[in-house]
């Protein structure tokens, strides 16, 4: 990519998209285009086609998606599979038709089988049943990976896919009904401290392991791959993560310490844990010359400080 290349960033307001926007701008890219949902409904095929024909972007970052945690995925599975399939199908097909030089599709580590060996290697895709609580989202993301793969095979496009681990950071979603575990815990523990509550109730047993990556690190890895590698060098997709995980209970204690909450933590074991472990193998990414930079403690502290500014 040249610094003045026309880059379309889909989903620029979200956690991932806003991080990509910050990274691209900090590296001197000056011709980034984007649209709000009100300006362009990405589930509308005709609207997306017309946008690509009019703007003719050279590069595309496909970060737009309907996302959420266990509760949202369990409550709205039809919306999760439909909206994500429509978004990725419309953008990938329009990118092909308009001759986009390169596209990067962002998936999720939930694409892997529920009980796949740990750490999760790229080749474990489609080797077993998915985690039931986010199956709809996972199926849509797997379809996006395969869309990129098969368009490359049939049409000679250069569409690459990346699979980030659990992300957190600036512009995260702190809505308790739709958020992921990290922002939900930050908000619950902060509110408990602010209201002098004696305890915080956390879903599940606290025993599952999760890997957490600061979204600015993820954005740095994505731009690095777009600048340096093609589909033929990357393969079907690349995991993006930090290569280390912790239990939810350890995460809770870390957030509790950063927030300064001195009450008790009670685990509601009637609620689901989700997948027991989701550590991804990042040997392919490291082999391509990229490594993470932001520590978990520093990242949580920064995220909490940003959350406090919104209160």
pTM of the model: 0.92
> What confidence score (pLDDT) does residue 5 get?
98
Q: Is 14 assigned to a binding site?
A: yes
> How many distinct structural domains can be found in the chain?
1
Q: Is 42 assigned to a binding site?
A: no
Q: Is 165 assigned to a binding site?
A: yes
Query: Which residue among the candidates 137, 151, 229, 304 is catalytic per the annotation?
Result: 137
The CA-to-CA distance between both ends of the chain, in Å, stands at 39
| Peptide bond between residue 169 and the one before it cis (omega within 30 degrees of 0) | no
Dump the DSSP string for 99-145.
T-SEEEEE--GGGS-TT--SSB-GGGTTSSPPPGGGHHHHHHHHHHH
Question: Is 85 within the bounds of a domain?
Answer: yes
Tell me the per-residue pLDDT of 75-94, one tens digit each, with 9 for 90 and over: 889 999 999 999 999 999 99
All residues at 6 or more sequence positions from 118 whose CB lies less than 8 Å from its CB, including other chains: 277, 279
> What confidence score (pLDDT) does residue 87 get?
98
Q: Are 241 and 164 in contact (CB under 8 A)?
A: yes
- Tally of helices (H runs) and strands (E runs) in the chain: 11, 12
Question: Is 95 within the bounds of a domain?
Answer: yes
Domain hosting residue 233, numbered range:
7-171+212-242+280-293
Question: Is 41 within the bounds of a domain?
Answer: yes
Q: Is 16 assigned to a binding site?
A: yes
Question: Is 274 within the bounds of a domain?
Answer: no
Q: Is 12 assigned to a binding site?
A: yes
Q: Residue 77 and residue 133: Cα distance in Å, rounded?
A: 9
Tell me the per-residue pLDDT of 139-177, one tens digit each, with 9 for 90 and over: 999 999 999 999 999 999 999 999 999 999 998 888 887
Average pLDDT score, the chain: 94
- CATH number where 93 lies: 3.40.50.720
Task: Clarify whether 124 is annotated catalytic.
Answer: no
Residues of the chain with pLDDT under 50: none
Question: Is 125 within the bounds of a domain?
Answer: yes
How many angstroms from the chain centroid is the CA of residue 84? 13
> What confidence score (pLDDT) does residue 244 get?
95
Question: Is 311 within the bounds of a domain?
Answer: no
């Amino acid at each position: 990519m040249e610094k003045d290349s026309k880059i379309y960033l889909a989903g620029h307001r979200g956690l991932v998209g806003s991080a990509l926007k910050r990274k691209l701008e900090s590296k001197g890219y000056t011709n980034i285009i984007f649209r709000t949902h009100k300006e362009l409904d990405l589930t509308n095929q005709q609207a997306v086609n017309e946008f690509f024909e009019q703007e003719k972007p050279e590069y595309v970052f496909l970060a737009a998606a309907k996302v959420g945690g266990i509760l949202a995925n369990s409550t709205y599975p039809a919306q999760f599979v439909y909206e994500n399939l429509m978004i990725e199908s419309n953008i990938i097909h329009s990118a092909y038709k308009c001759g986009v030089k390169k596209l990067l599709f962002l998936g999720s580590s939930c694409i892997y089988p529920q009980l796949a060996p740990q750490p999760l290697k790229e080749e474990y895709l489609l080797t077993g049943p998915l985690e039931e609580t986010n199956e709809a989202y996972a199926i849509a993301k797997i379809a996006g990976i395969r869309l990129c793969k098969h368009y490359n095979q049939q049409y000679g496009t250069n569409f690459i896919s990346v699979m980030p681990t659990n992300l957190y950071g600036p512009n995260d979603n702190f809505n308790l009904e739709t958020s992921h575990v990290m922002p939900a815990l930050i908000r619950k523990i902060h509110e408990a401290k602010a209201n002098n509550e004696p305890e915080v109730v956390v879903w599940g047993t606290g025993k599952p392991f999760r890997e957490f990556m600061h979204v600015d690190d993820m954005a740095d890895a994505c731009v690095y791959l777009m600048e340096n590698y093609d589909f033929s060098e990357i393969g079907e997709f690349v995991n993006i993560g930090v290569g280390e995980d912790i239990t939810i209970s350890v995460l809770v204690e870390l957030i509790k310490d950063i927030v300064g909450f001195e009450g008790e933590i009670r685990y509601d074991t009637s609620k689901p844990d989700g997948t027991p472990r989701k550590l991804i193998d990042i040997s392919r990414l490291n082999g391509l010359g990229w490594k993470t930079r932001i520590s978990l403690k520093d990242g949580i502290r920064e995220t909490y400080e940003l959350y406090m500014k919104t209160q």
